[in-house]
Structure 1
C-alpha cells in the first residue's frame, strides 16, 4: 500500500479526461493534477519549449512526493516522455500515444483520421506509431486548430465547434474514413459531438487505456492507495478560474493553488 498521490499534468483541462477515467478505475487513489494554464496551449509551441515545461512540472510533482506521473497530454508525451523516463528512472511515467493501433484494427475501410495538434503530428513518437501499427491503412493527419481552445472555454458543444468539426473532418469521412482517432486529450470532451455529427464513424479515445496502464503499474509495484481518493489541483495561472472549469466539466468542487 502507498498513500502518496498520483501526479498528472496537461496544459489545461484536457488531461482531466484521463483523470476522470482513472478515478472510475481507482476510486481510492488521490490525484495531484497540474494544469500549465500559463502556457496553454502546448500544441503550437516548439517541442523544446514543451519539453522544458514538462521537466519543470515533473520537478514540482516530485516535490510533492507523487508515486507515478501521467503525462496526460499528447503533445507533451511526444515532446518529452522519453526524456522524462531517462531523467527520472526511479519514477514510472505513463504517456499518451495516438490510438493508431486500435483504429487500424477496427477500420473496415482501412482509412482512419488522426485529429491532433501540430505538436503531436510532427513528433517522432507519432511517426513510429504509424510505421509500426499503420501498415496497410491510410492514416490521414488533421490538425484541430482552435478545438483545444474551445474545450478550454467549455464551448465544446456550440454550433461553432460543430461547424469546425465538419470543416476539418468531412473531407476525409467523405473520402471513406470510418474511424477518427482523438490525438489530444482535450478532444476527449468532443467525442460525443463527433459521434453526433458523423453517425456510423468509430471514435477512438485513448484516455481509458492510459488510465488502465497507470493502474496496472501501481498494482505491479504494490503501490495502490488505501483511500480515500480525491483530486487536488495546481495551476500555473489563475487557479480560481481553472477550478471553476473543472467543476463545469462535472468534477466536484476542488481548490486550486497557483505556482
Structure 2
C-alpha cells in the first residue's frame, strides 16, 4: 500500500523560467509524480540581488507551496537560491525535504582530461560561501576558471516574450555568451585548455546550443538537472513518498500532472512551457494579486 504522501505533489521553484530545465529532468526521472512549479519572474533576477532578499523570497515561496498545495518535497531549482537560502529554509521548515542545486564541479573535475574546467554562473552564486567551499573541495588537481554572467539569465527570461523583444533577447544571449566564454580562456583538448564547461545557473541550459557553437564540439557541457532528479527520487524513496504507476509510461493517463505558476507575465511562462517542455498553455497560471505579493 503506497504512503499517503505519494499522492501529494513535488514543489519546484526558480527565480524565473530557468528551473524548467530541472523540471524537464524531474519529469523524465519521475514520470508519475505531480509537480507544482513557481517561476518568481516578478522578482527576477535573483543572481544580482543580495542574500537577504533571496532568503525572504525562498521562504515565502516555500510557505506558499506548502500551505496551498501540500507539497511533500521542494526542489530549489535555482543555484543562487540554493547558495543563499537552502540552509535557512531547512532550518525554518525541518519537516519539508528541500533539494538544492549547485554547480556540478565534482563530476566536472572527475571527467576533465586537461584538468581545466570553466564555470559560468550568476554573481550571487560565485560570490557565495557555499560555492567557494565547493570549489576548494575539488581544486586539489583541477583548475577552475569562473565567470559571473551578469544579464544572461535575464536575457534568457526575455527570450520567451513577444517576437520583437524575443529577437533582441536572443541577440543579447549570443553577445553575452560570446563575451563570457571568451573571458574564461581557450577551449579545447590541449594541455591547459578548458575541456569542460559547467553551467552554474539553470537558465543557462537553454543557451546550450549557442554555447556549443562558441566552445566547439569536443568540450563537455555539464548541468545539474539529471543529478538533482536522481537525488529527488532517492529522497522520496527514503520517505516512502514516491508516486508509482503502470508500466506503460508512454500513456499520458499514467503520467503525473504539471501545474505552473508565475509572479510575472503569464504569456512568457506559457511560451517557455510550450517551447521547452511541450506543455499546453492551460497548465500555466498567474498568481492572483494577493498571492503574487507573497
- Which of 144, 147, 159 is residue 139 of structure 1 equivalent to? 144
* Structure 2 counterparts to residues 1-259 of structure 1, below 5 A: 1=2, 2-63=6-67, 64-154=69-159, 158-174=170-186, 176-199=193-216, 200-226=218-244, 228-253=255-280, 254-258=283-287, 259=291
SS in 1 for 2:277: coil
Deviation for aligned residue 1:160: 4.1
SS in 1 for 2:176: helix
TM-score normalized by structure 1?
0.94
Deviation for aligned residue 1:55: 0.3
Give the Cα–Cα distance (whole angstroms) in 1 for the partners of residues 213 and 257 of structure 2: 32
Unaligned runs of 5+ in 2: 160-165, 187-191, 245-253
For the aligned residue pairs, the C-alpha RMSD in angstroms reads 1.8
- Does the Cα contact within 8 Å between 1:162 and 1:197 map onto a contact in 2? no
Q: What CA deviation, in whole Å up to 9, does each residue of 1:202-223 have, x standing for no partner?
A: 1111111011111111112121
From the CA coordinates, give the structure whose radius of gyration is larger.
2
Deviation for aligned residue 1:198: 1.4
Give the Cα–Cα distance (whole angstroms) in 1 for the partners of residues 12 and 30 of structure 2: 14
- Does the Cα contact within 8 Å between 2:10 and 2:36 map onto a contact in 1? yes
Please identify runs of 4+ aligned residues in structure 1 that moved more than 3 A: 155-160
- Does the Cα contact within 8 Å between 2:76 and 2:99 map onto a contact in 1? yes
Count of equivalent residues:
259
Unaligned runs of 5+ in 1: none
Q: What CA deviation, in whole Å up to 9, does each residue of 1:182-239 have, x standing for no partner?
A: 0000011122321222121111111110111111111121211245402111212333
- Please say which of residues 201-210 and 221-230 is displaced more in the overlay: 221-230
Q: What CA deviation, in whole Å up to 9, does each residue of 1:11-48 have, x standing for no partner?
A: 11011101000101111111100111110110100011
TM-score normalized by structure 2?
0.83
Q: What CA deviation, in whole Å up to 9, does each residue of 1:60-116 have, x standing for no partner?
A: 011121000000000000000111111111111100111111111111121111100
